[in-house]
């Protein structure tokens, strides 16, 4: 290829082509050679090169991002997300961070009132999940009171009332979630009823408004009323309004415009209360910016699902610990496989028919651990193939899937960047 490139220059010059044109042709040829070499390095024929603490898309890695005074326990939390933040995913996240505050999926109060097997919804993975918050959904004082009483047997650190979910099932037919923001006095009563049944803090997760009730004044009135009548001192605010009856939950996460200033203004107007902010937080720089505005904490949602390993530096970069919770993803997979084996063994005793489904329910959460890494897609493909193969244990499944990855990728610690021999990040091709 190099010979052809050089010959092309001579041919162009022989034909009277300008030196500039010849130079461009030569440069293009060498760029092709360079790209082909890059592709070869990315292939399984040659491993990547690891540059620890190298500049990345997030910028140069600092010791930690919170340089704005003492770090609150709630500086970083993971949002409650249906179908995702079950106890299996929370266990995986706890392997990545010892400090992040984790939330359950929303649990309906009526579910805990009318079902005898509440362990299905409330059981924690021993004490390793803490700090962890139970999020409840409901609009009936007695149901919520009973739910909190039943949940008191479990080691949750706080109870959170969902006043932000916009789905038709919740805010429409269920008459709770975001709909509750239209009745602040009712929310205060619900929170007071829950507080009477436990000594744990009661918090509220809400939006900045609902439909046309979206002015800052209306948001401030909601916060003031709920804090006074319900004794709530911590509000987690998604900095978008909810549009009921017209948008899906997914559309409600991206179509209503973000208004961070509304949340910042709450911090200024209610100095005795604490506010955490949720919405479009995707980088450590985002976290740092919001914390610098006086927020008690920042809550991250979809980014944790899409790129869980990105947030493996929470302990050092946000909480200022000397080191992060886990040395490498190889260790994460080993520990998570141990956990999966224990959970499946327990299920084989309780309900053998459900054990195969449980295996997929647990291991599916590892699919994005290598997203944006060399052979990350291949890991996901092999993982799915292994999950569809009967008789495979969690250790066998994860070991086989991880065989698709470079050893350097598996052993890289938090903050380590995989680059090719030309110094270019190759994560975009994973």
Among 273, 290, 317, the domain boundary falls at 317
Q: Does residue 149 sit within a domain?
A: yes
Contact 171, 165 (CB under 8 A): yes
Q: Do 144 and 250 belong together in one domain?
A: yes
Whether 101 and 41 share a structural domain: no
Q: Are residues 228 and 342 in the same domain?
A: no
| Beta-carbon contacts of residue 384 (< 8 Å; ≥ 6 apart) | 367
Buried b (16+ CB within 10 A) or exposed e, 249-278: beebbeebeebbebbbebbeebeebbbbbb
- CA-CA distance, 192 to 375, in Å (whole number)? 51
Give 10's contacts (C-beta < 8 A, 6+ positions apart). Answer: none
| Domain-embedded: residue 66 | no
DSSP helix/strand/coil, 160? strand
| pLDDT of res. 419 | 57
Which residues form the domain of 363?
50-58+328-419
Tokens coding 79: 């949002």
- List the CATH number of the domain containing 91: 3.20.20.70
169 and 128 within one domain = yes
26 classed as catalytic: no
What pLDDT is stored for residue 350 in this prediction? Answer: 82
Strands 132-137 and 107-108: parallel
Query: CA-CA distance, 315 to 427, in Å (whole number)?
Result: 24
Could you say which of 317, 342, 360 is where a domain stops?
Answer: 317
Q: Pick the catalytic residue: 26, 163, 165, 198?
A: 165
b/e per residue, 95-134, with b = 16+ CB within 10 A? bbbbbbbbbbbbbbbbbbbeeeebeebbebbeeebbbbbb
Q: Are residues 241 and 258 in the same domain?
A: yes
**Which pLDDT does position 173 carry in this prediction?**
59
Cα within 13 Å of Cα(347), Cβ side: 17
Do 303 and 348 belong to one domain? no
Q: 361 and 282: one domain?
A: no
276 and 332 in a single domain? The answer is: no
- Do the domain assignments include residue 181? yes
Q: Judge whether 323 lies within some domain.
A: no
CA dist 233 and 129 (Å) reads 23
Residues 107 and 133 occupy one common structural domain: yes
Q: Within this chain, do residues 290 and 345 fall inside the same structural domain, yes or no? A: no
Same domain? 243 vs 374: no
**pLDDT by residue (tens digit) across 368-415?**
999 999 999 999 999 999 999 999 999 999 999 999 999 999 999 998
Parallel, antiparallel or unpaired: strands 416-419 and 49-52: antiparallel
Evaluate whether residue 367 is within a structural domain: yes
Query: Residue 430 falls within a domain, yes or no?
Result: no
**Do both 211 and 91 map to the same domain?**
yes
Which of 260, 283, 317 is the last residue in one of the domains?
317
Examine residue 375 and state whether it is found in any structural domain, yes or no. yes
Work out how many domains the chain is built from and give that number: 3
CA distance 6 to 33: 12
Residue 284 domain flag:
yes
* Distance between CA atoms of residues 90 and 73, nearest Å: 17
Record the tokens describing residue 318, joined without a space.
């946000």
Q: Within 13 Å and on the Cβ side, how many CA atoms surround 78?
A: 36
pLDDT digits (tens, 9 = 90+) for 291-312: 999 999 999 999 999 999 999 9
Give the residue ranges of the chain where pLDDT is below 70.
1-71, 168-174, 417-430
Q: How far, rounded to the nearest angstrom, does the alpha carbon of residue 386 sit from its chain's CA centroid?
A: 25
């Amino acid at each position: 290829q190099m010979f052809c490139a050089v010959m092309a220059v001579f041919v162009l010059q022989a034909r009277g082509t300008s030196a500039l044109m010849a130079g461009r042709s030569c440069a293009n040829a060498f760029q092709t050679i360079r790209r082909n070499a890059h592709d070869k390095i990315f292939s399984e024929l040659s491993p990547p090169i690891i540059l620890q603490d190298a500049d990345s898309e997030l910028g140069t890695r600092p010791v930690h991002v919170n340089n704005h005074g003492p770090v609150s326990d709630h500086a970083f939390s993971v949002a409650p997300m249906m179908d995702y933040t079950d106890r299996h995913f929370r266990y995986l996240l706890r392997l990545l961070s010892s400090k992040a505050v984790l939330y359950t999926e929303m649990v309906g109060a009526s579910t805990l009132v009318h079902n005898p097997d509440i362990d299905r919804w409330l059981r924690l993975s021993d004490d390793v999940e803490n700090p962890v918050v139970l999020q409840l959904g409901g609009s009936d004082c007695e149901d919520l009171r009973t739910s909190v009483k039943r949940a008191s047997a479990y080691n949750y650190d706080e109870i959170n009332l969902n006043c932000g979910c916009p789905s038709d099932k919740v805010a429409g037919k269920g008459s709770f979630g975001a709909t509750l923001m239209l009745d602040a006095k009712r929310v205060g009563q619900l929170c007071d009823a829950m507080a009477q049944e436990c000594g744990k803090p009661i918090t509220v997760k809400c939006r900045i408004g609902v439909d046309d009730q979206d002015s800052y004044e209306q948001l401030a009135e909601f916060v003031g009323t709920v804090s006074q009548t319900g004794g709530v001192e911590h509000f987690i605010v998604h900095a978008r309004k909810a549009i009921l009856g017209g948008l899906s939950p997914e559309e409600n996460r991206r179509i209503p415009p973000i208004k961070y200033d509304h949340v910042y203004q709450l911090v200024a107007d209610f100095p005795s209360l604490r506010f955490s902010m949720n919405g479009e937080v995707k980088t450590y720089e985002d976290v740092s910016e919001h914390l610098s505005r006086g927020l008690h904490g920042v809550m991250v949602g979809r980014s944790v699902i899409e790129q869980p390993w990105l947030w493996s530096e929470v302990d050092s970069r946000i909480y200022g610990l000397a080191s992060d919770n886990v040395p490498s993803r190889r260790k994460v997979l080993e520990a998570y496989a141990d956990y999966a084996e224990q959970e499946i063994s327990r299920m084989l005793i309780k309900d053998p028919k459900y054990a195969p489904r449980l295996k997929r329910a647990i291991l599916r959460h590892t699919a994005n651990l290598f997203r944006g890494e060399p052979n990350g897609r291949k890991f996901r493909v092999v993982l799915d193939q292994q999950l569809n193969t009967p008789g495979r244990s969690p250790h066998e499944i994860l070991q086989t899937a991880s065989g698709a990855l470079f050893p350097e990728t598996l052993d890289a610690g938090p903050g380590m960047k995989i680059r090719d021999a030309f110094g270019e990040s190759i994560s975009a091709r994973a």
